[in-house]
Chains A and B, each alone.
Chain A
Amino acid sequence: MMEHRKKSRYYLSLLLVIVFVLSLTGCQASGDGGKPAGEKKAETRIVTDLVGNQVTIKADVEKIAVVPIPWATIVYAVDGSGKKIVGLHPSAMKAYQKNILKVMAPEIANANSTFVDNNFNVNYEEVAKLKPDLVVIWDYQPEIGKKLSELGIPSVAIKYGTLEDVQNGIKLVGEILGQQERAAALIKYQQETNSYLKSKESTLAGKDKPKTLYLRDEQLQVATGQSVNKIMIDTAGGVNVADEVTGDNWKKVTMEQVIAWNPEVIILSNFSEILPEDLYANKFAGQDWSKIEAVKNKKVYKAPMGIYRWDAPCVETPLMIKWLGKVFHSEVFTDYDMRTDLKNFYQTYFNYKLTDPELDQILNSKLNPVLKI
């Protein structure tokens, strides 16, 4: 009996030792962080992401998984192709299915859109299966970055928000993909737009700024005073009526508040299926649009949607601002030809020749018949 117990104790301690040794080697294997096993040192390089992390990545990145929704299209724009995108957000996939990018980059349809869920939680085993060389994440997701690095997958963080954040992100993506020139060209286009708009500033100063409401959906969520849409409206020579509303991006307000603001122009986002007709017909229960200036004067417009929704910061944001300029002050922007510029933009940066029906699809021309763009 005693003998037996001793023996079992011996086996138990042997087992413990084995487990311990195994776990040590396990630690070591996962310990060398950003470098996948078997990778030679010469083939890696270091980039600095937008939160200042030094990230070691493969010299030539071939597979990218993108968590932030608009950034899959930014990767596409910088690379000029979608073939390196192996994963994107389900909502980005949904936008892709609906817009022109599906025609321009059919390869993205094969990308995985289940590795991240609607709440931006990452399924690590799905990611591991995708074997990406790199994952793009939001700046507020350091825990996900840490977890990924334990799996040997490097990640870079980007920021949502100002146009500067977008430009820094484009630059970073250019560096990662070895497409610095294309990235620089995209940024240059943004800066040229800025100086073009600057040149209009003095003319616009004397004009009445139309009071504008940027409406996200039928829930009465509107662009706040800290949203990127406010910047777009301001730059294009309008004024955001919802400036007093605080908080990021979109906030829900009451109909009475909208009536108190009485906007002269209303822009409808592509985040919802809401249409100008809905407001003209006063379709929503508990809302009364009939007395609003913009509705009375038929100045409700659906925002365009190119390779992504123009309502969010993206590579096409400069085009969005110029479109708003046309909406607000067509008499000031007479020298600007939106259709030609859009065609050139797609030709230059996406190597895609837009047809006229495609142009109208992007500009939502059918929904905005009074706009002569």
Chain B
Amino acid sequence: MICKQKNLKFIWLVMLLILVGMFFVSLYGGRYFIPPGEVGEILSAGLRGGVPDSIAGSVVWNLRLPRALLNALVGAGLAVAGASFQGVFKNPLVSPDVLGVSSGAAFGAAFGILLSGINQIATVLALVFGILSVLMTYTLSKLRGESSTLALVLSGMIISAVFSALISLIKYVADPYDKLPAITYWLMGSFASASYSDLKLVGVPILAGIIGLLLLRWRINVLSLGDEEAYSLGVNPVRMRLTVIAMATFITAACVTVTGIIGWVGLVIPHICRMIVGEDHKNLLPASCIVGAIFMIMVDMIARTATAAEIPIGILTALVGAPFFALLFKTSKGDWQ
């Protein structure tokens, strides 16, 4: 823990300021140059309900704004889901895809694209299979007659492996000229299709999940103490664990549905936040939200502006996330118990 309790207020303020700043920076930057002053005018005009009918207006209001909002939403969602998973499983190496959510949702989307191209069907299938895969994981772990964390994680690996194989199968049979590029791009993750209709579709589920987890953050603290402690404090650990898992899963599935697979955020961001605000989930979860959002806006900005061709964001989050994780791993050994 870097800071003392009294500095915490200052830390929150700084993080929020960075988030707001990053959000606006992302509205100002892009391949199509718009003078900063004009961006401000468009935003204020848009807030008053009248977006100027110009190219710049369309770029800021229809391309950059929904994209930045979706960045923040997905970044916050994936990070808070990751932090919750890590708390519930008492394991810092756990991330939202551990229960098979990502592979399940990815399979659903790939299947949808194979059937009818990128459209609502793919989105719905992604959500359905994301949730289905967690149900399968849960059922499988129950077959052993116990609900231990280890059984859940192992079942998650099995279900993930099955869906990964099915994704490979779909890629194998997909038309290389027609469907395969769409599936491949989607599996690498992208905010390219971000729109207000996306926001409408997943905004409510992701926000509801985030709020739910934030409300439960004290209980996650209790869970991380162990089952016996939890019972003695009047919390049913099994039921509570399932509630948290369900919420985190729902968030992850909703994110994967609109952006494809974006790895590493749910794993790395909670660790960064632990360095800043400490282990206490009371602080860790809100901090993960903010830092996750900042990280995603920042990385997506690189993805869409670095070159004329768009870089898939899943590649960038892994390339930025993995070395950072390695650095943390080296400098903070022993702190993760």
Contact = CB atoms under 8 A, between A and B. Distances in A.
A290 B195 contact: no
A254 B58 contact: no
A234 to B, nearest CB: 18
B176 to A, nearest CB: 4
B176 A286 contact: no
A251 interface: yes
B313 to A, nearest CB: 12
Interface stretch (A14-22, A46-54, A143-151, A242-250): A242-250
A18 B192 CA distance: 65
Contact of B194 (A219, A242, A286): A286
Contacts of B177: 69, 91, 271
A250 B191 CA distance: 19
A256 B304 contact: yes
Interface in A217-276: 217-221, 242, 244-247, 250-257, 259-260, 262, 271-273
A252 B59 contact: no
Interface in B1-32: 30-32
Contacts of B281: none
A119 B176 CA distance: 7
Contact of A287 (B31, B193, B307): B193
Contacts of B66: 286
Contacts of A250: 181
B32 A290 contact: no
A288 interface: yes
B58 A291 contact: yes
Nearest to B186: A219
Give chain A's interface secondary structure class.
Answer: loop
B32 A118 contact: no
B197 A288 contact: no
B233 interface: no
Interface residues of A, number: 38
Contacts of A1: none
A257 B176 contact: no
A285 B176 CA distance: 23
B308 A244 contact: yes
A63 to B, nearest CB: 25
Given A91-B175, A218-B118, A291-B55, A256 B63 contact: yes
B309 A118 contact: no
A4 interface: no
B33 A118 contact: no
B63 A288 contact: yes
Contact of B192 (A118, A242, A255, A288): A255
A255 B63 contact: yes
A252 B180 CA distance: 14
A32 interface: no
Most buried by B among A119, A256, A257, A273: A256
A118 B173 contact: yes
Nearest to B177: A271
Interface string A322-335: 00000000000000
Contacts of B117: 218, 273
Interface in A101-123: 117-119
B217 interface: no
B301 to A, nearest CB: 11
A94 B308 CA distance: 32
A11 interface: no
A196 interface: no
Interface core residue of B58, B59, B308 (most chain A CB under 10 Å): B308
B178 A272 contact: yes
B193 A286 contact: yes
B62 interface: yes
A10 interface: no
Interface of A: 69, 90-91, 94, 117-119, 217-221, 242, 244-247, 250-257, 259-260, 262, 271-273, 284-288, 290-291
| The 10 A-B residue pairs with the shortest CB-CB distance in the complex, in nearest-first order | A286-B193, A260-B32, A285-B195, A257-B31, A251-B309, A118-B176, A291-B55, A286-B195, A288-B62, A256-B31
Given A255-B192, A259-B55, A285-B198, 17 more contacts: A91-B175, A91-B176, A118-B180, A217-B178, A218-B117, A219-B181, A221-B181, A242-B308, A250-B181, A252-B192, A254-B192, A254-B304, A256-B32, A273-B117, A286-B67, A286-B194, A286-B195
5 contacts: A217-B181, A220-B192, A255-B192, A256-B63, A260-B31
